Structure 1
Amino acid sequence: MEAQRPDGSDSSDQAKAKRTRWIALAAAVAVLALAAQGIWSRYDAHAALEREAEHASQMSVEVVLPQKSSGALDLVLPGNVQAFLDTPIYARTNGYLKKWYADIGAHVKNGQLLAEIDTPEVDDQLRAARADLANADANYALAKSTADRWTEMFRSKSVSKQETDEKVGDMLAKKATLDAARFNVARLEKTQSFQKVYAPFDGTVTARNVDVGALIDAGSSGGPAKELFHVVQADRLRVYVNVPQGYAQQVRAQQSAYLTLTETPSRHYPGTVARTAGAVDPQQRTMLVEVDVDNRGGELLPGAYAQVHFALGAGAAPYTLPGNALLFRPDGVKVASVDAQRKVKLLPVSLGTDFGTRVAIVSGLQGDEQVILNPQDSIVDGAPVRIVPRKDNGSAEGAAASSPARGAAPPAAGTQS
């Protein structure tokens, strides 16, 4: 082993070697740090890309809860308003209109004269029939007196029984002729009485189809009879409604209802279910219901279109959803809900009444489902989704749809907010 020199040159070499090692170690550490930073940045970028891809693969959806009313359901259906009595007035005799006494819009009473018909042919037929009646009466009187005389002579054996029977038979034949003539006169008198046309009941004239001098044909010539007047009794109205099969058993006679009109939506016209058909039409799957409405004020017009409101029991109130939450698939109607794992679950449902912007769901929902609004047609079971806040812009419909209503009936068609 070499001894250390007095000038200390071996210490310097060792210090240099040591410094060189530290520099090399620092360089290696720096290289390793740079390599680790590069690897970590690439890993972090890859993880971020994966997160973005996973985020992009999830559909952003808006959800709504089914709405259920704890009160009565307002079932709204279109109705056809008709007058309680609606009668066309025809002529029962031929002739020419002599005069009319009531025009359209006139309020007439039962038995009021509406028109007179000039019937010269019927008048002549009646005069001829009365002449035939007088002739038949004279012939019968002569035959009767003859038969009475021959009957008396037969008792004294002055004439034969054969001759007496002939006289009695002639009297009976003349009696039949007299009866026929009398009945013919009575028929023509009734026909002549049809010269005057009367109102059959209290009501309003809604049509007058003839004028003075018009030919009146009662249809005896083989052609169709022409309507002279049309009279309706509108102080009471019949409103006919076709109730869907799903609600047919819940609408019964004596049940209350009310009408609304599109021109006066805030006015309610009360009515009562008078009768139901008691059977469902096999073609339309509806039951015909008649609602009677008091119209003594004349505010409702026969022939008008109205909306009829039936108050159904709370137990009959189904869930309702916005119409844009439904999926119409070949295997039936479905809704897309989001489960606890934020995945899509398709639920089959049965539809009830369409209330305009909302549709009744008769079955298929429990009430706590998060139902997707505007689902894509291609949506499938198990697809991951991401729930985003609804963009309702403060609308009442959005507030009503996002949370179930309590104690209020679903809005009716035309009034859905």
Structure 2
Amino acid sequence: MEEPHHHSSLDIAVGGGQHGMDLPGRHQAGKRARLAVIAVALLLAAGAARTIVSNLQNAHHLADVTKRNATQYVSVVQPVAAGSDGRIVLPGSLRGFVEAPIFSRANGYVLHWYADIGAHVQQGQLLAQIDTPEIDQELAQAQAQRDQTASTLALARTSFDRAQQLRQRDAVSQQELDDRQGAYNQDVASLAAADANVRRLTEMKGFQRIVAPITGVITQRNVDIGDLVNAGNGGSGRALFAIAQSDPLRLYVDVPQTYAHQVAVGQQVSVTQQEMPGVTFAGTVTRTSQAIDVATRTLQVEITLPNPDGKLLPGAYVEAALKTDSTGLLSVPGNTLLFRAEGPHLAVVGANGKVKLKRVEIAQDLGQTLVIGHGLDAADRVVLNPSDSIADGDSVTVVTPGPNAPGSAGAAAKRSTT
């Protein structure tokens, strides 16, 4: 039999000490684990809370940005009395008092030209010379035919005179005398026709010389040496030269029907050119068309403008100011107009900040400004540069245009960066 194992007292003492120390260590380890779990839970809760707060802030910021972007910012302008200074300004183009395109009356080739653009020429001055070989040959042929006809006429004259003498002695019949007289008369007419043909061709040969029909300035030269030219304007389709008389000048303006009854012949007109600020030229209304154009509802007016120093050039764009009475008419900038199917409208902002579209009647379109005949009040606040989508009842915020004002380009750029 196996003998039982006997533990000594020392073994018992040592083993009992090890079991006694194991319980407190386990307790401390469990406590540390619980603290770690709690710390991790607190960190997760803090992160979740931070995420929720950040989302709420972003949502509020997005709502604010959306609200700001949804707000319509507009600039407004107050209508002013049209022609409040007692005049109306109309655009027009200056024209030479006489403008003459010069065509050739003979077929040929350009032999020489003597005046270029910008040259001041006198009436009758030689501008160009044309070589006309065909006309030269036709003239020579006509002269030869004229000489032949003259010889035939001389023979017919002699025969007729002889027949008259013989008839007195009753040597020829009256019929023969009448025949010789008829032949003589026919040859007289033939000679007259031959003379006319020679004169015609001589005149045509004279058109070899292209001369200035008026005193003025050459504004165009469309030919050069050797160019083929045709008689009239049915050939090349362009003038050899163009000449304009620049003193005085003519100015044609179209006066709206609203002011047509206020324009009279002899009325003084002030003319200005944008390229010469502060300089005013005096003109006079010399004639009107005495009729309203059906298409444009305007009256054409001709203004004569002295130009002794040549400062004004034919073809220049100018503005003419006529004295008028524009009582009751209002003027607004041209960039306030809205086009609708019902006609032109203006967007007006009321005291409550609401938009109202007003249909208006345009009395005159001056380009940058519009003269309104009906549909607008002097106290209205008219929207500048209205969007096409603006409608009745829209809420808007009126601002003063500026680089950082709401609705301006600077403010829009600032919002886009946020």
Q: Normalising to structure 2: TM-score of the pair?
A: 0.67
SS at structure 2 position matched to 1:353: strand
Shift in CA distance, 101/142, structure 1 to aligned 2, threshold 3 Å: same
Match of 1:252 in 2: 264
Q: Is the contact between residue 276 and residue 288 of structure 1 (CA under 8 Å) also seen in structure 2?
A: yes
- Residue 149 of structure 1 deviates from its aligned partner by 2.0
1:160 aligns with 2:170: no
The 5-angstrom pairing of residues 120-131 of structure 1 reads 120-131=133-144
1:143 aligns with 2:163: no
1:237 aligns with 2:253: no
1:320 aligns with 2:321: no
Deviation by residue 1:105-157 (Cα, 9 ceiling, x = unmatched): 11100111112222233223222222222221121122112112212322332
SS at structure 1 position matched to 2:240: strand
Match of 1:113 in 2: 126
Q: Which amino acid aligns with 2:315?
A: G
Q: Is the contact between residue 216 and residue 226 of structure 1 (CA under 8 Å) also seen in structure 2?
A: no
Alpha-carbon RMSD across the aligned residues, in angstroms, is 3.5
Moved more, 278-287 or 294-303: 278-287
Partners of 1:137 and 1:60 in 2: CA distance = 97
Partners of 1:344 and 1:223 in 2: CA distance = 62
Q: Normalising to structure 1: TM-score of the pair?
A: 0.67
The 5-angstrom pairing of residues 15-414 of structure 1 reads 66-68=79-81, 72-218=85-231, 223-224=235-236, 226-313=238-325, 315=327, 318-321=329-332, 331=342, 333=345, 336=348, 349-354=360-365, 359-364=370-375, 367=378, 369=379, 371=381, 373=383, 377-380=390-393, 391=400
Shift in CA distance, 326/210, structure 1 to aligned 2, threshold 3 Å: closer
Q: Is the contact between residue 205 and residue 231 of structure 1 (CA under 8 Å) also seen in structure 2?
A: yes
Q: Which amino acid aligns with 2:130?
A: I
Shift in CA distance, 73/93, structure 1 to aligned 2, threshold 3 Å: same
Shift in CA distance, 343/200, structure 1 to aligned 2, threshold 3 Å: closer
Q: Which amino acid aligns with 2:243?
A: V
Identity %: 40
Deviation by residue 1:315-351 (Cα, 9 ceiling, x = unmatched): 4x62334567777665553564758x99998765433
Q: Is the contact between residue 247 and residue 307 of structure 2 (CA under 8 Å) also seen in structure 1?
A: yes
Q: Is the contact between residue 87 and residue 325 of structure 2 (CA under 8 Å) also seen in structure 1?
A: no
Shift in CA distance, 128/270, structure 1 to aligned 2, threshold 3 Å: same
Count of aligned residue pairs for this structure pair: 328
SS at structure 1 position matched to 2:264: coil
Q: Which amino acid aligns with 1:78?
A: P
Match of 1:29 in 2: none
Shift in CA distance, 347/187, structure 1 to aligned 2, threshold 3 Å: closer
Q: Is the contact between residue 63 and residue 370 of structure 1 (CA under 8 Å) also seen in structure 2?
A: no
Partners of 1:336 and 1:288 in 2: CA distance = 34
Q: Which amino acid aligns with 2:246?
A: A
Q: Is the contact between residue 338 and residue 372 of structure 1 (CA under 8 Å) also seen in structure 2?
A: no
Shift in CA distance, 363/182, structure 1 to aligned 2, threshold 3 Å: same
Q: Which amino acid aligns with 2:250?
A: R
Q: Which has the higher contact order (CA 8 A, sep 6+)?
A: 1
